[in-house]
């Protein structure tokens, strides 16, 4: 029975924490293991838009929707589409009270979920090395610190390069051919007022068919810009550069974006600090695996796709459906069967739709959809 099972979640991201919260809310014990040394050991990333039908649904099941609304930036739903000159092509301004997809910083969402869990639920500094044991369970989790624990159900919520995935699937992520370079901007209203006016309160996207820019406001006066191009996965080394060579990378980018207007180029040149290289990976379309009653996956571990606004929402929906299946089923095996039947069909359909989604981020303004990162 799920209530008597030893349930281990690997990964303290939005998916893993949402699953843990809903399980605990229904009285089912769970432990989350995460490789981060402690909760604030690294920056959690940029802004997320949570949709009514999935991310917000999961937070409602977690009893956290009102707390989310108290933190969310509804003005962040503003979206601008521009050309490389900086001319506005389309502009969505959210209606008063619009709640379709408000924004929240990833770190704020993680904090909200962590505060909702019982003390000691998350064990930090536990880097998973392997999952072993028979398919029917129990499974043995071996960690990099030399410790091991047994689990009746292992839930892989450990992202793109999941260690849990190897227990049920040989699939590995492949490089999509599109790379992001992340640039950070601080104190937008005072230090970057012209860029603040250009981007607005939400996000702005421009592309020319081969390259693009996606600017996204975060809370606290911060902004992230994603510089998007078709490049080899090792493009920095190929061009004789180093990741810490900010000025060299900037000069290289200015050559690539030479036809763009000076106003738009400030989204490349005026950043505060170094660039962060983020090549885009994906799992094979319709990724699936042979059912195991003791291991399952959610989020990017199950269906890594291009960043088009679906990743965290699908992870949280997966988490809610898996947790609710465990609450409502007589056995763990029944719960995993029911969850995977729904989740795998849904992720197969969406992954087919988004198979070439990374290319759409670079599409000419009159050809590609307005994409969310």
**Tens digit of each residue's pLDDT (9 = 90 or more) over 97-130:** 899 999 999 999 999 999 999 999 999 999 999 9
Same domain, 156 and 23: yes
Q: Is pLDDT of 208 > 50?
A: yes
Q: What is the mean pLDDT of the chain?
A: 93
Task: Check residue 360 and give its pLDDT.
Answer: 82
Residue 87 lies in a domain: no
Binding annotation for FAD = 49, 106, 300
Residue 185 has pLDDT above 80, yes or no: yes
Predicted pLDDT at 356:
79
Flag whether 147 is in a domain: yes
Whether residue 40 is found in the same domain as residue 139: yes
Provide the 8-state DSSP code for 73: B
* 48 and 133 inside one domain: yes
Residue 366 has pLDDT above 60, yes or no: no
Domain membership of residue 85 (yes or no) is no
Q: What is the rounded CA–CA span in Å between residue 198 and residue 181?
A: 20
Residues 152 and 249 in one domain: no
**CATH number of the domain that residue 236 is part of:** 3.30.9.30
Confirm whether 304 is domain-assigned.
yes
Q: Are residues 221 and 307 in the same domain?
A: no
Separation of alpha carbons 297 and 131, rounded Å: 13
Please check whether residue 254 lies inside any domain of the structure.
yes
70 and 122 together in one domain:
yes
Number of domains in the chain: 2
Same domain flag for 213 and 351 = no
Question: Which DSSP symbol is given to 292?
Answer: B
pLDDT in tens, 309-351: 788 999 999 999 999 999 999 999 999 999 999 999 999 999 8
Distance in angstroms (rounded) separating the CA atoms of residues 17 and 159 = 13
pLDDT 10s digits, 209-222: 999 999 999 999 99
What's the pLDDT score for residue 232?
97
The residue whose two tokens read 């809903």 is 22
Note the pLDDT of residue 162: 97
What is the Cα–Cα distance from 120 to 36, expressed in whole angstroms? 15
pLDDT average, residue stretch 185-214: 96
Sheet order of strands, 153-156 included: 122-123, 31-33, 7-10, 153-156, 295-297
Shared-domain flag, residues 165 and 178: no
pLDDT digits (tens, 9 = 90+) for 127-163: 999 999 999 999 999 999 999 999 999 999 999 999 9
Count the Cβ atoms, other than its own, within 10 Å of residue 242.
10
Residues annotated in a binding site for NADPH: 42
* Average pLDDT for 267-282: 95
Within 10 angstroms of residue 174's Cβ, the number of other Cβ atoms is 12
Check if the beta carbon of residue 151 is closer than 8 Å to that of residue 294. yes
Within a domain: 82: no
Q: Report in angstroms the alpha-carbon separations of 258 from 137, 151, 235, 342.
A: 58, 55, 18, 47
What residues are designated binding site?
Answer: 42, 49, 106, 300
pLDDT recorded at residue 365: 60
For residue 157, the enclosing domain spans 2-75+101-172+284-356
Contact 372, 216 (CB under 8 A): no
Residues pairing with 182 in the sheet: 226, 276
Final residue in a domain of this structure, among 260, 281, 302: 281
pLDDT at 373 over 70: no
| Residues 343, 210 share a domain | no
pLDDT band at 46 (very low <50, low <70, confident <90, very high): confident
Out of 281, 316, 343, a domain closes at 281
Burial class (CB in 10 A: 0-12, 13-18, 19+), 79: buried
Q: CATH no. for residue 325?
A: 3.50.50.60
Residues 18 and 140 in one domain: yes
Of the candidate ranges 42-51, 113-122, 205-214, 286-295, the one whose mean pLDDT is the lowest = 42-51
The reply to whether 303 and 242 lie within a common domain is: no
Structure tokens, 11: 């990964």
pLDDT of residue 369: 39
Does some domain include residue 200?
yes
Same domain (yes/no): 302, 189: no
Contact (Cβ atoms closer than 8 angstroms) between residue 270 and residue 227: no
- Region 48-55 average pLDDT: 94
| Peptide linkage before 138 cis (omega within 30 of 0) | yes
Residue 370 lies in a domain: no
């Amino acid at each position: 029975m799920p209530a008597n099972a030893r349930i281990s979640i690997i990964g303290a991201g939005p998916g893993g924490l949402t699953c843990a919260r809903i399980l605990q809310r229904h009285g089912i014990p769970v432990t989350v293991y995460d490789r981060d040394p402690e909760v604030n050991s690294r920056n959690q990333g940029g802004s997320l838009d949570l949709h009514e039908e999935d991310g917000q649904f999961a937070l409602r099941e977690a009893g956290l929707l009102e707390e989310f609304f108290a933190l969310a930036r509804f003005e962040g739903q503003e979206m601008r589409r521009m050309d490389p000159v900086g001319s506005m092509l389309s502009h969505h301004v959210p209606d008063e009270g619009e709640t379709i997809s408000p924004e929240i910083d990833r770190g704020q969402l993680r904090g909200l979920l962590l505060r909702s869990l019982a003390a000691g639920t998350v064990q930090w500094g536990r880097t998973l090395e392997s999952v072993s044991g028979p398919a029917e369970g129990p499974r043995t989790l071996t960690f990099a610190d030399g410790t091991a624990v047994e689990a009746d159900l292992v839930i892989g919520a450990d992202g793109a390069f999941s260690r849990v995935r190897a227990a049920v699937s040989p699939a590995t992520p492949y490089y999509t051919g599109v790379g992001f370079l992340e640039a950070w901007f601080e104190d937008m209203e005072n230090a970057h007022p012209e860029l603040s006016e250009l981007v607005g309160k939400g996000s702005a996207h421009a592309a020319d068919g081969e390259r693009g820019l996606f600017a996204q406001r975060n809370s606290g006066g911060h902004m992230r810009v994603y510089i998007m191009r078709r490049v080899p996965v090792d493009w920095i080394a190929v061009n004789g550069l180093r990741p810490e060579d900010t000025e060299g990378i900037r000069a290289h980018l200015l050559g690539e974006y030479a036809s763009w207007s000076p106003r738009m180029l400030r989204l490349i040149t005026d950043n505060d600090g170094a660039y962060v290289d983020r090549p885009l990976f994906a799992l094979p379309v319709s990724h699936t695996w042979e059912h195991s009653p003791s291991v399952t996956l959610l989020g990017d571990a199950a269906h890594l796709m291009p960043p088009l606004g679906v990743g965290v929402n699908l992870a949280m929906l997966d988490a809610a459906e898996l947790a609710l299946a465990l609450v409502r089923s007589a056995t763990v095996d029944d719960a995993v069967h029911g969850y995977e039947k729904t989740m795998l069909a849904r992720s197969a359909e969406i992954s087919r739709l988004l198979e070439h989604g990374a290319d759409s981020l670079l599409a000419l303004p009159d050809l590609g959809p307005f994409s969310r990162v």
